[in-house]
Structures are given as C-alpha cells and as structure tokens.
C-alpha cells in the first residue's frame, strides 16, 4: 500500500453523527471491493498449493490451518488490529485504540483514502492481516499442532504484523516517514512471515519418519491449481493496493503478471542447468512464479514491465539457492514447503530491488507533486539504504518476537507445539481433526494407530528386558 502521498487531514467536512453526505468515488470503491474478492481467492489457493507438498494424511490440516487462524485474526482486526495499524492519531511506533471495535468506521470516507468508504478499506486490509500468518504454517506442516498455531497466529498478528504494517504504511509510521518503499507488503507480509517460519520451524524441529533425500511433491495437480488461484488473487493484492482504479493500479497488476511469468520460466531453466536435464518441471515453474509474485509485491507500484521481468529473473536464483539452507542444517530447519526460501528471501530481494529500480515516472502517473524520488537508477542513491533498514527491521523483529512467542506457548500445560510421535505417524488429519481426505477409511487409521501403539509397547518391553538381562549378566 502506498499511502505516502496521502495526508492524514481529510479535506471533506462531516457533520456530527452523519452517515454519508459527500460524493465518494464509486469506481474506486468498486475496484477495491473486486480486489478484496480477488485477495480472498488466495486462501484456497494457498491451501491447494501447500497441500500439494504435504502427505495426504495431513491435507485437511493444511486447510484448517488457513481457515481457522484467518477467522481468528479477522476478529482481532475488528477488536484492535485495524485501529493499531491505521489509526490517524498514533505515534511513530504504533497506533492507538481510536478505531477499536471499528468505532467510527462505516460508509464515511477513510482518512487515508478520502474517496473510499472506510469500511471497504478496512475489510481489504483485514484480508492482508488474516492471510499473512497462514503463510508460515507451511513450515511446520505434518508435525505442528493447529491449537498452538491458532494462539500464536493471533498473538503474532498483534505483536509483529500490526507493528511492521504501521511502520511501513501508516503516514505516521517511522519507516514510511524515512522513505522506505513498499507498495503491497514486501516487509509486513513476506519478510515477516518468512522469518516467522524460520523461527517456528527451528523450535518445533524436523519431521520424523521422513526420508529427506527422497522428498517429492505429493500432488502436482493441487500445486498447479493453487498457483493459478494465487496468481489471480495477486492481481487484486497488488493492483488494489493503490486504493483507486487508475493508471498506476493497472500498471501494478500488469507488472505482477510479467514478473510471475519470467520467474516461472527462469526457475525451469535453473533446474534444467542444475540437474543437467531437458525435462520441463511443472513444480519448478510454480515455485518460480510464486517466488517472483512475492518479490514484485513491494515494487509493483514503482516499476514498469521491463524492470518487473528483470526482478523475476533476479529473484529465482536467490530463492533457488535458499532452498538448500535446509540441507545445510541437515534438516534441523525442516521447512516443509520452503516458506523461508520463497517468502522470506523473495521478500528481501524484492524490497532491495525496489530501491534500485523504482521509477519516479511511475509514481507520477497519479501524483505529479509526490515527494518520492525513485530509486538508485533514478539518482536516489540513498534509497537502497532505506530499503535495507526496512528489511533488517522486519526480519529481526519478526524472528525474535516469533521465537519468544513459540517458546512461551510451549510451556503452557494445556497446549503442545507439535504432535506426539504416534499422532505424527498416522497423520495430523486423523490425530487432530478426526477427519480424513482422499477416501481413507477411519477404521483403517484406527487399526494402524492400534498396531503402532502395540509395536511401541512391544519395543519398550523388549528394551526393558534387554537392559535387565544385561545387568544380570554383569
């Protein structure tokens, strides 16, 4: 969201207790509502994409880890979230409770987007807040519990997302005032969720009973479907962040499409070179497209199609190399769907390249008198430094706050961060939800659970008997 060109003071006069007596721009309002619907489409898209990499006994858990936390954060957004991020009387660090419980939010114009009703702006922003914590559940899939994740997602949204979003997008936020450029969420959404995934996965630990050398996608059809839904949703995610339907919003959607296309194609080429094969990989294309959608997010309101293609081409090698971080740690960092590599590293490279390629001419499409000077190539050499400050702050804040939250939740007696070995063996769907996908019979899973339990007890008895025998001999 680029709100640096908007002022807090609205030039619209409202009567006390009035509803709406001024003319709004209904074209802008309609576009923001359409963008809201497109962003919501990213929820099933994310679910299908993640489930394509996860064992079929944990598929439903992926969908629940999106719907339930999203709903909980939606309530948090109603209670305090929106007010903390977009109150117009806050400090440089965080907002206040002026709009708590959506007080004074309705069909009156937004103080930030003066020609759009505040409730439309609120619900659009609420989808960003609700979607972001869902991104990093993929890192702990197959062994992290939903109950702990739900609590952590609400706390994380309040202490991490709300703060970084305020710093970046609120006109009073200190990163915004410094001059950090982030059009649609490179820092608050992607860098923050990527480093949250890193912290969370390190604490939860690696999956058991998994041969990491032979891990492959489970269902490429779902990965393809999820990628397409995310791609479409991203057009509203980025295009709607202008808050109006104008040439800059259209440009944001256009460059989003070009970045995804170039990223998907380049990742295929990288894998062909790396694996020395001429095979065209669907998984490679989908991963590259997603990584480039992430990287174009902060830049989409500042660059033209040529630089969008360049951003896509430069992003994929970085994210491809980042996927080997798991192997470097011998899978002590077990990121099941490469959230850190795609979102964390993709967000970093996208935010950094924004400082290089940002064009003042794109910004001036709708605001000839804007104070944004463009990026390095436009002669604004300090912009890279501003971007680095924003990247480092989002990464460090998210990592350490997430690490603290996960550690604190882990000591709660009524919650567990991860499934026990038996539950992980039979799958989180049956263990946590009591439901299964793909026609797996519950009776079969019950039988497997019973057999596994008996085997565990037999092994324990055998180990005890062996120890007794050895001690008697000695």
SS3 sequence, 302-316? Answer: CCCHHHHHHHHHHHH
How far is residue 444 from each of residues 53, 426, 468, measured CA to CA in Å? 23, 10, 36
Residue 227: Cβ within 10 Å count: 25
Which tokens in the block code for residue 460? 């324990």
What was the pLDDT predicted at 393? 97
Residue in 84, 90, 44 with CA at minimum distance from that of residue 63: 44
Residue in 387, 383, 407 with CA at minimum distance from that of residue 395: 387
Residues present in the chain in total = 474
Residue 151: Cβ within 10 Å count: 17
Indicate the fold that domain 26-421 takes in CATH. Ammonium transporter fold (1.10.3430)
Domain edges within the chain: 26-421, 441-473
What was the pLDDT predicted at 17? 40
Instruction: Please report the sign of the dihedral spanned by the C-alpha atoms of residue 325, residue 326, residue 330, residue 332.
Output: positive
Q: What is the pLDDT tens value at each position of the chain, 474 positions in all?
A: 655 444 333 333 343 444 444 567 889 999 999 999 999 999 999 999 999 999 989 999 999 999 999 999 999 999 999 999 999 999 999 999 999 999 988 877 777 877 899 999 999 999 999 999 999 999 999 999 999 999 999 999 999 999 999 999 999 999 999 999 999 999 999 999 999 999 999 999 999 877 777 788 999 999 999 999 999 999 999 999 999 999 999 999 999 999 999 999 999 999 999 988 888 999 999 999 999 999 999 999 999 999 999 999 999 999 999 999 888 877 788 999 999 999 999 999 999 999 999 999 998 888 766 677 899 999 999 999 999 999 999 999 999 999 999 999 999 998 999 999 899 999 999 999 999 887 655 555 554 554 444 344 434 443 444 454 455 444
How far is residue 9 from each of residues 13, 28, 74, 103, 363, measured CA to CA in Å? 10, 20, 27, 18, 21
What was the pLDDT predicted at 461? 44
Measure the N-to-C terminal CA separation of the chain; round to a whole number of Å.
Answer: 73
* pTM greater than 0.75 (yes/no): yes
Q: What is the CA radius of gyration of the chain?
A: 24
CA 383 and chain centroid, separation: 25
How far is residue 295 from each of residues 207, 322, 449, measured CA to CA in Å? 29, 14, 43
What was the pLDDT predicted at 442? 54
Whether residue 359 contacts residue 378, with contact meaning beta carbons closer than 8 Å, is answered with yes
Whether residue 290 contacts residue 50, with contact meaning beta carbons closer than 8 Å, is answered with no
Residue in 63, 52, 339, 46 with CA at minimum distance from that of residue 223: 52
Q: Which residue has the tokens 């092994």?
A: 459
Identify the burial level of 226 via C-beta atoms within 10 angstroms of its C-beta, where 0-12 means exposed, 13-18 middle and 19 or more buried: buried
How far is residue 37 from each of residues 127, 236, 237, measured CA to CA in Å? 9, 8, 10
């Amino acid at each position: 969201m680029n709100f640096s060109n908007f002022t807090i003071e609205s030039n619209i006069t409202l009567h006390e207790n009035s509803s709406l007596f001024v003319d709004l721009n209904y074209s802008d309002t309609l576009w923001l509502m359409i963008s809201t619907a497109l962003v919501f489409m990213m929820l099933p898209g994310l679910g299908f994409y993640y489930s394509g990499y996860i064992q079929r006994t944990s598929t439903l858990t992926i969908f629940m880890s999106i719907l339930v936390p999203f709903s909980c954060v939606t309530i948090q957004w109603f209670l305090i979230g929106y007010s903390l991020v977009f109150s117009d009387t806050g400090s440089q660090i965080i907002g206040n409770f002026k709009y708590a419980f959506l007080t004074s939010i309705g069909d009156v114009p937004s103080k930030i987007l003066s020609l759009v009703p505040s409730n439309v702006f609120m619900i659009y922003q609420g989808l960003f807040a609700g979607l972001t914590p869902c991104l990093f559940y993929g890192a702990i899939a197959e062994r992290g519990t939903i109950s702990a994740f739900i609590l952590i997602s609400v706390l994380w949204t309040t202490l991490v997302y709300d703060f970084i979003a305020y710093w970046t997008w609120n006109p009073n936020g200190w990163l915004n005032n410094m001059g950090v450029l982030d059009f649609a969420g490179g820092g608050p959404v992607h860098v923050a969720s990527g480093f949250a995934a890193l912290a969370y996965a390190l604490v939860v630990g690696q999956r058991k009973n998994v041969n990491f050398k032979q891990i492959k996608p489970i269902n490429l059809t779902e990965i393809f479907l999820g990628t397409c839904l995310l791609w479409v949703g991203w057009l509203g995610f980025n295009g709607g962040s202008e808050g109006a339907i104008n040439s800059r919003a259209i440009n944001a959607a256009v460059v989003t499409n070009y970045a995804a296309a170039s990223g998907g194609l380049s990742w295929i080429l990288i894998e062909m070179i790396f694996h020395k094969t001429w095979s065209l990989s669907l998984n490679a294309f989908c991963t590259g497209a997603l990584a480039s959608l992430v990287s174009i997010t902060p830049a989409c309101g500042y660059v033209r199609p040529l630089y969008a293609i360049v951003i896509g081409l430069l992003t994929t090698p970085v994210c491809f190399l980042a996927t080997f971080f798991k192997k470097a740690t011998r899978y002590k960092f077990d990121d099941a769907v490469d959230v850190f590599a795609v979102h964390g590293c993709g967000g970093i490279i996208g935010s950094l390249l924004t400082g290089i390629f940002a064009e003042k001419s794109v910004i001036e499409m709708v605001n000839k008198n804007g104070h944004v000077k463009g990026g390095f190539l436009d002669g604004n050499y300090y912009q890279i430094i501003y971007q680095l400050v924003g990247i480092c702050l989002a990464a460090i804040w998210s990592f350490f706050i997430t690490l603290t939250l996960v550690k604190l939740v882990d000591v709660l007696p009524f919650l567990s961060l991860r499934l026990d070995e038996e539950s992980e063996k039979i799958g989180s769907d049956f263990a946590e939800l009591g439901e299964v996908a793909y026609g797996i019979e519950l009776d079969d899973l019950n039988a497997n659970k019973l057999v596994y339990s008996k085997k565990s007890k037999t092994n324990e008895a055998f180990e005890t008997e062996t120890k007794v025998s050895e001690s008697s001999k000695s």
